[in-house]
Chains A and B, each alone.
Chain A
Amino acid sequence: MDLALVYLLLIACGVLMYVLLDGFSLGVGIVAPWLERDEDKAIAVKSLSHLWDSNQTWLVFGGVTLFVAFPKAYSLVLSQLYLPIILMLIALIFRGVAFEFYFKSDTSRWWWNFSFSFGSILATLSQGLILGTLVQGGAEVGRLDWLTPFSLLTALSLLLGYGLLGSCWLVRKTEGSMARRSRTIARALLIGVVTCLGIVSVWMLLTQAQVAERWLTVPGIFILAPVPLLCGWVTRSLWQRLGDETGNDLHPLGLGMVLFLLSFIGLVAGMFPYIVPGQLTIWQALAPESTLIFALVGIVVLLPVVIGYNIYNYRVFAGKTRMEDGY
């Protein structure tokens, strides 16, 4: 068994879990300023207060698993992307403490609304810059290589994408005028997301030889063709469900997540087997076997348990979020 591949898969799953779960949590922060009433904003924060920490922990899981399996890549990527990573961490502080202080404040609600949204937006933009830079082959340590038109585009895409997931989450967790408002926001964001995905795809095909070769030649074109086709179908379906208030309110979130999954597969397909494109492949960065096996035992045994009680957590708090639930 090739441990490099196993770990690549694990990290990919960890990152995907993070993007989907904290994606909708950050997304709620992104769209919160567009909610109409102060009570709506409070409900938006409340709908996440029991799970933001779990969702954010996937970021730590992804980071630590990268550290376990590919220590060279971990140290390379993190020092190359120093400033955007620090910005992300500080932004996550603003976001995280908003949950803790929001419902204990009387006069400073407006500030915690700001802290929640500002933190969510800045964290997402930083992640988008990091993503864009990695896709393009990393940066020189100490240079501002992470600030390019392409990375700004990926930052915008991620902002709209998380916002889409966040508004779909609110469709699921809220009622009445707030749910309707969330549907309107989600539709607007969907248009933006699809536009961005299109531009990013074309940009990558035009500028990156490896990506173009994989996607535009036989057999890659046949293997990968379902990805954009499915994207189209999911987009259409999501648009319809967002317009149908009587339908299952979990479907928009599910479809939004499928859209993310497809984009993610599309990205990884273009980058593999590089962990930092053009710089480092997964085999060059691999940790010694005893490290990999010891950590893998823990992951294989414990991750299913983790997923199990996370599902339990969602079930305990299932249903619409209402203000009266609290401490």
Chain B
Amino acid sequence: MLDAALLSRIQFAFTISYHIIFPTITIGMAVYLAIMEGLWLKTGRKVYLQQAKFWQKPFAITFGMGVVSGVVLSYEFGTNFSRFSEIVGPVLSPLLSYEVLTAFFLEAGFLGIMLFGWKRVSPRVHFASTLIVAVGTLLSAFWILAANSWMHTPAGYTIVDGQFHPENWMDIIFNPSFPYRYFHMVIASLLSSSLLIAGVHALYLLRGKHREFAKVGLSFAMWVLMVVAPVQILVGDLHGLNVLENQPVKLAAMEGIWETHSGVGLRLFAIPDQENATNHYEVILPKAASLILTHEADGEIQGLDAVPADERPPVGVVFFGFRVMVGLGFLMLILGLFGVYARLRGRLYDHPILLRFAVAMIPSGVIATLAGWYVVEVGRQPWLVQGLVRTMDVVSPIPAEQVATSLTLFVVVYTLLFGTYLYFMRKLIRKGPAESVGQDGNVSTPEDLLPVTLNPD
């Protein structure tokens, strides 16, 4: 039988991994919805409204999944990590409180108007609601990433009787890794949603359905991808340098470096062996890791041997997670560049390989984000607060059977739910936008998409 502490950790990892899938999609998609609705108000072209109204439905169910799986997390700190809540609560809890007040209420309050208020408020108020929902998702990410980053690079606190007390809130919120992590995650969300949007429209074009509608969406998403994919690689690199500075052990695990030395090669592939503190089947690019990380071919990089074995993270997960993330990131860059090439040749909407590639990349953003989070979180182990609090020391003293029961319930319910979610996503996507539009982007059917009150002029 697994012990309660390990079960609690598995449960938290499972529930939070599941949860992050949905915000990753909705943060970026909320921005997309706001832009489409804004374009509609500005230009009056119905195809933008059609975009907004179509994507609103996948957004709604994805957002709903995020809400129901998110509430679980806000209680799980206390249920499964009670000692953690008690000693770190004074520093982290106000950040969550600000998240509730500036983001959760805001999103919930205006989501209703955004989804169901089309006929009840003016177009401007509706647009404002959509915009507010988008801002809410960004604020939510702000606070939760501030709290998460503090656990990696704690700052602005003192310890009184074993409890963390806040000293300087600016230092706590804007802790050393926060800006990097925030932008890396927000951009990850923009990428993930763009890939989903691009892929779905590519699918329509491949099948010859909703052509005018799909062209608008694909074109926009491919522009975003072209700009954002390289930016993400740059931000990711800066984030990596920040990890090197603040969490060298995590970085060593990401690169599979066991011994501290200079002129370190970049391991393209390896099978890390935790027990013997070495790698098998290495494929190494000489001196490349030193060059990337220290900008000198002979720069020294601290290896995992700098800390005792019981302070090293599980290297395999971190090492492979990092490679999955980076590999997918470069595929996204290639897709973005491919898009530019096809666009220049005037074939963006009917290049079969490009369109198939875009469809295949639909889940890549979410997978890369999950892989990245595994690098970040597993790479911090055995610490819950880097260098200060060990995860194993702060788990609730609940009997293993109870945690096993709850974990089983979560696995069963979440699996069924995910199947249902995919079923409805597929159904909405197959159904497509409400009406077809003509060449000029205006609705070709005599009936308006909407009642009179919603005409932009």
Name the A residues within 8 Å of B112 (CB-CB): 49-51, 53-54, 313, 316-317
Residues of chain B with a CB closer than 8 A to A60's CB: 71, 74, 100, 104
Which of A61, A74, A96, A317 gathers most chain B CB within 10 Å? Answer: A74
Q: How far is the CB of B98 from chain A (nearest CB, A)?
A: 5
> Are B424 and A101 in contact, CB atoms less than 8 angstroms apart?
yes
The answer to whether the Cβ of A93 comes within 8 Å of any Cβ in the partner chain is yes
Q: CB distance B165 to A288 under 8 Å?
A: yes
The answer to whether the Cβ of B285 comes within 8 Å of any Cβ in the partner chain is: no
- A85/B79 contact (C-beta < 8 A), A57-B104, A75-B85, A104-B424 known: yes
Asked if A303 is at the interface (CB within 8 A of a chain B CB), the reply is yes
Q: Per a CB cutoff under 8 Å, which of B60, B79, B93 touches A86?
A: B79
User: Which of B251-259, B301-309, B395-403, B437-445 makes up part of the contact surface?
Assistant: B395-403
Which residues A49-104 have CB closer than 8 A to chain B? 49-51, 53-54, 56-57, 59-61, 63-65, 67-68, 71-72, 74-79, 82-83, 85-86, 89-90, 92-94, 96-97, 99-101, 104
Q: Are A104 and B79 in contact, with the CB atoms below 8 A?
A: no
Q: Are B79 and A97 in contact (CB under 8 A)?
A: no
Nearest Cβ distance between residue B423 and chain A, in whole angstroms?
9
**Do residues B68 and A326 form an inter-chain contact, with CB atoms below 8 A?**
no
Pair A64/B74 contact, Cβ less than 8 Å: yes
User: B102, A302: Cβ atoms under 8 Å?
Assistant: yes
Considering the complex, which residues of chain A in the window 25-60 have a beta carbon less than 8 Å from any beta carbon of chain B?
A: 49-51, 53-54, 56-57, 59-60
User: Which residues of B are found within 8 Å of A327, using beta-carbon distances?
Assistant: 53, 56-57, 115-116, 118
The stretch among B203-211, B263-271, B405-413 that forms the contact with chain A is: B405-413
CB–CB B111/A74 < 8 A:
no
Contacting pair A92 B71 (CB below 8 A): yes
- The distance in angstroms between the C-alpha atoms of A22 and B72, with both chains bound, is 17
Question: Is B166 an interface residue when CB atoms closer than 8 A count as contact?
Answer: yes
Closest to B120 in A: A316
The residue on B at minimum CB distance from A77 is B78
> By the criterion of a CB under 8 Å from any partner CB, how many residues of chain A are at the interface?
61
**Contact between B90 and A72 (Cβ–Cβ < 8 Å)?**
no
Contact B397 A141 (CB under 8 A): yes
Q: Which residues of B contact A101 (CB under 8 A)?
A: 61, 420, 424
Task: Say yes or no: A57 contacts B100, CB within 8 Å.
Answer: yes
Bound: A90/B60 CA distance, A: 20
Chain A hits for B78, CB < 8 A: 63, 67, 74-75, 77-79
- Given A75-B89, A82-B398, A327-B53, A54 and B105 touching (CB < 8 A)? yes
B335 within 8 A of A: no
List A199-225 residues whose CB lies under 8 Å from chain B.
none
**A176 on the B face (CB < 8 A):** no
B75 touches A325 (CB 8 A): no
Q: Tell me whether A8 is interfacial, beta carbon within 8 Å.
A: no
B344 at the interface (CB under 8 A from A): no
Residues of A within 8 A of B107 (CB): 53
State whether A295 and B97 are in contact (beta carbons under 8 Å apart), knowing that A97-B420, A104-B427 are contacts in the complex: yes
Say yes or no: is A250 at the interface (Cβ < 8 Å to chain B). Answer: no
- B83 and A90: CB pair below 8 A? no
| Given A89-B71, A294-B169: A82 touches B121 (CB 8 Å cut-off) | no
Inter-chain CA distance A104–B258, complex, in Å, is 53
Distance of B357 from chain A, by nearest CB (Å): 30
A63-B74, A294-B166 are contacts. A316–B113 as well, Cβ < 8 Å? Answer: yes
B69 in the interface (beta carbon within 8 A) = yes
CA distance A97 to B419 in the complex (A): 13
Q: Is A149 at the interface (CB under 8 A from chain B)?
A: no
- Chain B CB within 8 A of A290 CB: yes
Across the interface, which residues of A come within 8 angstroms of B327, CB to CB?
none
Q: Which A residues lie within 8 Å of B85 (CB)?
A: 67, 71, 74-75, 78
**Does B68 contact A96, Cβ atoms closer than 8 Å?**
yes
User: Do A89 and B75 touch across chains, with their CB atoms under 8 A apart?
Assistant: yes
In the assembly, what is the distance between CA of A161 and CA of B61, in Å?
A: 30
- CB of B120 within 8 A of CB of A82, answer no
A287 to B87, CA, bound (A): 10
Closest residue of chain B to A70, judged by CB? B89
Evaluate whether A104 and B86 lie within 8 angstroms (CB atoms) in the complex, with A63-B74, A79-B78 already known. Answer: no
Alpha-carbon gap, A309 to B424, bound state (A): 31
Tell me the complex Cα distance, A50–B91, Å. 34
Quick check: is B65 within 8 A (CB to CB) of the other chain? yes
Are B420 and A291 neighbours in the complex by a CB distance under 8 Å? Answer: no
The answer to whether B121 and A142 touch across the interface, beta carbons within 8 angstroms, is no
A316 touches B121 (CB 8 A): yes
**Complex partner residue of A299 from B69, B71, B97, CB under 8 angstroms:** B97
Shortest Cβ distance from residue A10 to the other chain B in the assembled complex, whole angstroms: 10
Q: Which residue of A lies closest to B70 (CB)?
A: A60
Q: Are B397 and A142 in contact (CB under 8 A)?
A: yes
Q: Is A265 in contact with chain B by the CB < 8 A criterion?
A: no
Q: Could you tell me the distance between the alpha carbons of A77 and B69 in the complex, rounded to whole angstroms?
A: 21
| Complex-state Cα separation, A306 to B172, whole angstroms | 25
B86 in complex: contacting residue of A57, A68, A72, A93, CB < 8 Å:
A72
Please report the C-alpha to C-alpha distance between residue A89 and residue B18 in the assembled complex, in whole angstroms.
15
Verify A104–B428 contact, CB threshold 8 A. Answer: yes
**A259-302 contact mask (Cβ, 8 Å, vs B): 1 or 0:** 00000000000000000000000000001101100110011001
B108 at the A interface (CB under 8 A)? yes
- Are A78 and B117 interface neighbours, CB within 8 A? no
A237 at the interface (CB under 8 A from B): no
Contacts of B93 in A (CB 8 A): 64, 67-68, 71, 287, 291, 295
State whether the Cβ of A310 lies closer than 8 Å to any Cβ in chain B: yes
Chain B positions 146-172 with a Cβ under 8 Å from a chain A Cβ: 160, 163, 165-167, 169
Interface centre among B94, B113, B420 (most CB of A within 10 A): B94
Q: Which residues of B contact A306 (CB under 8 A)?
A: 101, 105-106, 109
- Does residue B356 face the partner (Cβ distance < 8 Å to A)? no
Which residues 214-263 of B sit at the A interface, judged by CB distance below 8 A?
Answer: none
Interface residues of B in 98-146 (CB under 8 A from A): 98, 100-102, 104-113, 115-121
Per a CB cutoff under 8 Å, which of A287, A294, A316 touches B117?
A: A316
Q: How far is the CA of A77 from the CA of B112 in the complex (A)?
A: 33
| CB atoms of B427 and A68 under 8 A apart | no
Q: When A97-B65, A104-B57, A327-B116 are in contact, do A294 and B94 touch as well, CB less than 8 Å?
A: yes
A255 and B402 alpha carbons, distance in the complex (Å): 41
Of A57, A65, A291, which is within 8 A of B90 by CB?
Answer: A291
B87 smallest CB distance to A (angstroms): 8
| B166 in contact with A90 (CB, 8 Å) | no
B82 touches A78 (CB 8 A): yes
Residues of B within 8 Å of A309, CB to CB, are 105-106, 109-110
Measured in the bound complex, the distance between the Cα atoms of B116 and A100 in whole Å is 12
Q: Which 6 A-B pairs have the closest CB atoms?
A: A50-B112, A78-B78, A71-B89, A75-B82, A100-B64, A53-B108
Given contacts A141-B398, A291-B165, A291-B166, 5 further A-B pairs with CB under 8 A are A56-B67, A64-B97, A67-B77, A68-B89, A325-B119
In the complex, 10 of the A-B residue pairs with CB atoms within 8 angstroms, ordered by the A residue number, are: A53-B112, A63-B74, A71-B93, A78-B82, A85-B79, A93-B72, A101-B420, A295-B98, A298-B102, A306-B109
